[in-house]
Structure 1
Amino acid sequence: MNAVTPIAVSEPMAEEAIITRALPQAATSWNAETWTVDATLATPGAGVTRYDARGEYSEFLSFENQSWPVQIPLLDSHRRDSIDARLGSVDTLRAVGGELHGRIRLSRHHPLSQRIAAEIADGHTLGVSIGYITREQRERTNPSTKRREMIATRLDVLEASLVTIPADRSAGLRSHSMTVIPAPVETPVSTPASPPANAAASTQERAEAANTIVDRAAVNGEIRSIARLSGLDQAWVDSQIDGNATADNARQAAFAAMSQRAAPAGQVRNTSISIGTDHSDPELRVRQVGEALYARHNPGHQLSEPARQFFGLSTLDIARESLRLRGMATTGLSAATIVERAMHATSDFPLILGDAVGRTLRESYRAAPSGLKLLGRKTTARDFRTKHRLQISEGPRLKQVVEGGEFEQGTFDEAKESYKLSTWGRIFSISRTAIVNDDLGAFTDLARRLGQAAAATEAQILVDLLVSSSGNGPTMSDGKPLFHADHGNKATSGSAISVGSLSIARSALRKQVGLTGEAIDISPRYILVGPDKETEVEQLLTVLNPAKAEDTNPFAGKLAIAVDARLTGNRWYVSADPATVDGLEYAYLEGEEGVVIETKAGFEVDGVQVKARVDFGAGFVDHRGWYTNAGA
């Protein structure tokens, strides 16, 4: 997995996120002559909480097979904005026992380095943090905690810093590599006069207060760095500092603030990398202007905020703006010339019109559902090759195993049905005259009709499939039609819809068996009729309060009515729920569900051409969930 890890607690450098990781450091290997101290800079076992677009995870470092720089700068709290923040350097970087070691060399010329040298000699604990960029990493899931973990397997260490709040508490300054030498006795430049004996306690308190002030300054510096990296303002910084927040508190608060706020200009921010959307992007602009144009003739549409700025523009305004964005002047040009140039000199103007038309077309397509389609199961196909649906029989019954006996081998039987997708479509044109006249109704009405036609095409395909073979349905893999006496799903004679005929239909479904003869206990869910039988079935299934118990309708409230206007005659059908039992199945090409719109400037036709296409196919993959009666 190759990626620059988008997490940091310091500001970006060289346009890449520098991740930081801190360790508590003991003060035991200080060399007062060379002002050096050996340190464990990082350990692999210390998991540090990070965040990415997928949420929280633990980061671990691997130091095997790495190449290390000869020397890296030692900074104050990852500050890279000033030379005054450089406290010295770190050299001799190496991997030892799975840990990253290095030698810290403090500058003798920096006042803060001088204070740090004295504190190390006195045995104070310091935090050391490395700043690095992850070049390669791999992901794993902790089997115990189920937490996501990322292991950095190749990284560039860019700097080390002395910090107050360590993230990794598994290592410290090395105590065994060098002899501990007492701190040098030096007289500071600003040494005050010796205090009186009775002021010893006050002197101690002032020293501790001074240390606290310096430590607080380091934390405040890190808070400011977090704010700059996270895009947070000075008010946020002030609130954290005034509340005496630690660096860890500030990181958590920054992450919460970024999660709750709406990023400006459509940007989505991670801790150190902004992955956003440029609203000048032509593809995005096409969608926004197309939505605004669509809203002009569909007042009920709720405009998105980015599209609101384009609401009210006429087609001529849109054409003029398309030319302007291409650096083409429109002053003095007639409306017809502007439209013509926009169609042929720019690519976005035809696409904008196509987007608006496509929205209308898809809306009308969705608003014209098929009664029969409700009884089918939707799926997708990867290509146009024949789609085979394999049926697996029910599992064989378990058999008793006597003491010392052997388990018998069970088998599954198989059967398969098939169908494939076909492409259906038409092209229509938006005339140049309609565009110049800003006549939205002329082409949106045509788009609405085409959407309805697309839905009707799918519905007719399903109906033709169902009523094929003189009403017996398509031929199945066993060579018999869908509805056949051998399938046990066809009434022996036609009859009106009644409690008695529905009871026979329900019994037929209940008695269906699987491939191995096992009962599968199918329940009816829908009754499908044409318009000639709609009132009859509604009367039958209406819930009434009968005067006699024998007049109670056992199917009231148990069957849903589906009506398809394309079905004619008296024939009616009963089907199981497609979510539980295989039966009718229809499919779209994977990734192109429903109507797909393509647009281009017309050449043979003076205007914009819009092509509507749907890749659709259907078939019955099992006969067991369906029953038919010829009716009367």
Structure 2
Amino acid sequence: MSLHLRAATPAASTVDLEARTVEAIVSTGAEVARPGYIERLDLTGADLSRLRAGAPVLDGHRSATTSDQLGVVEAAELRPEGLWVLMRFRSTDPAKAVLNDIADGTLRGLSIGYSVTEWKDQQRGKDRQRTAVNWTPIEVSVVPVPADAGAHFRKGNTTMPETQEQTLTTRAEINGAIRSIAETASLGRDWADAQIDAETTVEAARAAAFEAMQHRSQAQAVRTPTATIGTDHTDPAVIATRAGEALFARSHPEHQLSPEARQFAHMSVTDMARASLERAGLSTRGLSNDTILTRALGMHTTGDFSAILDNTANREVRRGYEAAPSGVRQLARQSTARDFRAKSSVAMGDFGTLSKVNEAGEFTYGTIGAAPESYKLDTYGKIFAISRQAMVNDDLGAFTAIPNKLGAAAADFEANVLFDCVNKNPVMADGKTVFHADHGNLAEVADPPEALSLTTIAARRLAMRKQTSPGGVLINATPRFLMVGPELETEAEQLLTQINATKTADVNPFSNLSLIVEPRLTGLEWYLAADPAVIDGLEYAYLEGAPGPQVETRTGFEVDGVEFKIRLDFGAGWLDFRGWQKDLGA
């Protein structure tokens, strides 16, 4: 059998200096090594609309100014050899100089910039391969070193005057030709081995390769779109988290920096702005720190610098928020609300006890409805700004002190709202205050008044045990917390301290109570409270999906810098009075 080889003689270049045009193959879909994976472009999944609409031809992917644009793409299509384009260069001297270099062969590199909407991940041995199956080329660049070695400026039509015939006389030569066909068609070693094991001829292998490529193209054309959820080192959200942690750690040396964030360690605010611009494909060469920061802040949709600042501010807000002390918060139950309408719990109306089923098998109905008590969320917030000067000066205090104080203020605000619910003793739906003699949760004023003691705690526990549901059923509420103000802290600690008693009279029956010291509580009054997870009582809620203070970032207009908005959707109120007891003390 024989393999026919044709020697091609290139004709004139497709460069037309008068029309300032040139044809090129800008991508063959070749594999390119990226950090952590191998990237491949599936040319059949390319959306050429941006190229056909006149995508720019750039100088080395730079797009900071108009001088970086060499020309435009006038036509684009997929051809067997790859992604073909017709480029028209500008009439400026720098653009003409580049075109002349292309014409004489001293500039040969081409590259494309693109965005990917769908990846297909697979493991190939030890390597991770990511194939862009849905992607859009958005620019073409003339570069010195192309990632795709097959990208090239096209020569003209080729003439093939000479035909040589080479006879393949050994099976080894035939097998080598089959492996070359498999490599060209990207069919892999297993496909080639199967053809060789079947002692396929070169012509039959070539036909099988074309058929396999056709089936592959058809399968890709009817592929059902799928969404792959994941992150890598190029994900803006991942970059914002890692860089934000590094900026946070500069102000807090005690923070143990994660391995992923160490690449951003010791970078200044300006360094992070510069890196953000470069990740977006923009050159920062020769730019001042002020210009770098201004441009990075102006990239709302294509950059990640604002997200980095947002992440840092959120960390500081959360740190201040979690550090603020609050005693009454531990006695309330946390919940969520889907909207800003009044929120209430489910109430067992006059359900009463279970009823006997008569011989007819009829069951009687109890009532379940909404509790009469309700509360709703409100929105609270502030805006604070960090000036451009502070960022140029790399003033970390601007990124730590202000957000930290706002976080502490948010926690203090929540605690004040909860404490007011207790201290102001609001009126409930039945027309009586939360702590009221008719509710059985307010100690009578003794004469003389009685101080906090085991006796008074026992009296309040007894009153809580006797509480009944609206239907008259004992609910057997059990005290879990003792809340006092700073004035009673020492006495409460002594009362609740567990003692290894040698006599029954010395046993402390309340050593299982948890002491809560609320600094906002003044005077000698004190409270017993049941576990809020067991008995309805005081409750607070956040808007669903937004627990605690939320921070948003935008480039300042009125303020020359960046503005942060802290927002808190929060509400609190009483759902039931039966899980609490109050004593005025003495």
Instruction: Output the TM-score relative to the length of structure 2.
Output: 0.59
- Maintained 8 Å contact 2:351/2:368: no
How far off its partner does 1:597 sit? 0.6
Q: Structure 2 CA distance, aligned partners of 1:552 and 1:587?
A: 40
Task: Tell me, yes or no, if structure 1 residue 610 matches structure 2 residue 564.
Answer: yes
Helix, strand or coil at the partner of 1:593: coil
How far off its partner does 1:442 sit? 3.5
How far off its partner does 1:523 sit? 0.6
Letter paired with 1:364? G
Fraction of identical pairs, as percent: 48
Q: Structure 2 CA distance, aligned partners of 1:453 and 1:278?
A: 36
- Cα distance change on mapping 1:13 and 1:80 into 2, 3 Å: farther
- Cα distance change on mapping 1:332 and 1:110 into 2, 3 Å: closer
How far off its partner does 1:533 sit? 1.5
- Cα distance change on mapping 1:288 and 1:84 into 2, 3 Å: closer
Superposed counterparts of 1:304-453, under 5 Å: 304-345=258-299, 347-393=303-349, 396-400=352-356, 404=359, 407=362, 409-412=364-367, 414=369, 415-453=371-409
Letter paired with 2:427? T
The aligned residue for residue 583 of structure 2 is 629
Letter paired with 1:448? N
| Alignment match of 2:429 (pick from 447, 458, 477) | 477
Q: Structure 1 CA distance, aligned partners of 2:227 and 2:312?
A: 34
The aligned residue for residue 471 of structure 2 is 516
Letter paired with 1:314? S
Instruction: Give structure 2 stretches of 5+ with no counterpart.
Output: 1-41, 46-120, 122-185, 206-214
How far off its partner does 1:306 sit? 3.0
Task: Tell me, yes or no, if structure 1 residue 299 matches structure 2 residue 241.
Answer: no
Q: Structure 1 CA distance, aligned partners of 2:332 and 2:354?
A: 33
Task: Tell me, yes or no, if structure 1 residue 562 matches structure 2 residue 516.
Answer: yes
Task: Tell me, yes or no, if structure 1 residue 537 matches structure 2 residue 489.
Answer: no
How far off its partner does 1:614 sit? 1.1
The aligned residue for residue 98 of structure 2 is none
Task: Tell me, yes or no, if structure 1 residue 490 matches structure 2 residue 442.
Answer: yes
| Alignment match of 1:507 (pick from 444, 447, 462) | 462
Q: Structure 2 CA distance, aligned partners of 1:406 and 1:84?
A: 76
- Maintained 8 Å contact 2:375/2:572: yes
- Cα distance change on mapping 1:548 and 1:336 into 2, 3 Å: same
The aligned residue for residue 12 of structure 2 is none
Helix, strand or coil at the partner of 1:309: helix
Helix, strand or coil at the partner of 2:264: coil
The aligned residue for residue 143 of structure 1 is none
Q: CA RMSD in A?
A: 3.6
Instruction: Output the TM-score relative to the length of structure 1.
Output: 0.55
- Cα distance change on mapping 1:439 and 1:80 into 2, 3 Å: closer
- Write the deviation string for residues 7-34 of structure 1: whole angstroms up to 9, x where unpaired: xxxxx9988xxxxxxxxxxxxxxxxxxx
Q: Structure 2 CA distance, aligned partners of 1:451 and 1:630?
A: 34
The count of aligned residue pairs is: 385
Helix, strand or coil at the partner of 1:562: strand
Q: Structure 2 CA distance, aligned partners of 1:365 and 1:575?
A: 25
Q: Structure 1 CA distance, aligned partners of 2:295 and 2:554?
A: 13
Letter paired with 1:544? I
- Maintained 8 Å contact 2:350/2:366: no
Superposed counterparts of 1:42-57, under 5 Å: none
Q: Structure 1 CA distance, aligned partners of 2:237 and 2:506?
A: 64
Q: Structure 1 CA distance, aligned partners of 2:204 and 2:409?
A: 80
How far off its partner does 1:396 sit? 4.1
How far off its partner does 1:333 sit? 3.2
- Write the deviation string for residues 97-131 of structure 1: whole angstroms up to 9, x where unpaired: xxxxxxxxxx9x989xxxxxxxxxxxxxxxxxx99
How far off its partner does 1:274 sit? 6.6
- Write the deviation string for residues 375-419 of structure 1: whole angstroms up to 9, x where unpaired: 1111100011111223124854334557x4654514236433110
The aligned residue for residue 572 of structure 1 is 526
- Cα distance change on mapping 1:341 and 1:274 into 2, 3 Å: closer
Instruction: Give structure 1 stretches of 5+ with no counterpart.
Output: 1-11, 16-51, 53-78, 88-106, 112-129, 136-155, 158-271
- Write the deviation string for residues 476-534 of structure 1: whole angstroms up to 9, x where unpaired: 12121111111111111153211111111001110000111011111110011111211
- Maintained 8 Å contact 2:336/2:543: yes
Letter paired with 2:444? T
Letter paired with 2:372? K
How far off its partner does 1:368 sit? 1.9
How far off its partner does 1:582 sit? 0.7
- Maintained 8 Å contact 1:495/1:629: no
- Maintained 8 Å contact 2:464/2:580: yes
The aligned residue for residue 418 of structure 2 is 462
The aligned residue for residue 204 of structure 1 is none
| Alignment match of 2:231 (pick from 277, 282, 290) | 277
- Write the deviation string for residues 23-75 of structure 1: whole angstroms up to 9, x where unpaired: xxxxxxxxxxxxxxxxxxxxxxxxxxxxx9xxxxxxxxxxxxxxxxxxxxxxx
The aligned residue for residue 526 of structure 1 is 481
Q: Structure 2 CA distance, aligned partners of 1:13 and 1:601?
A: 39
Superposed counterparts of 1:231-242, under 5 Å: none
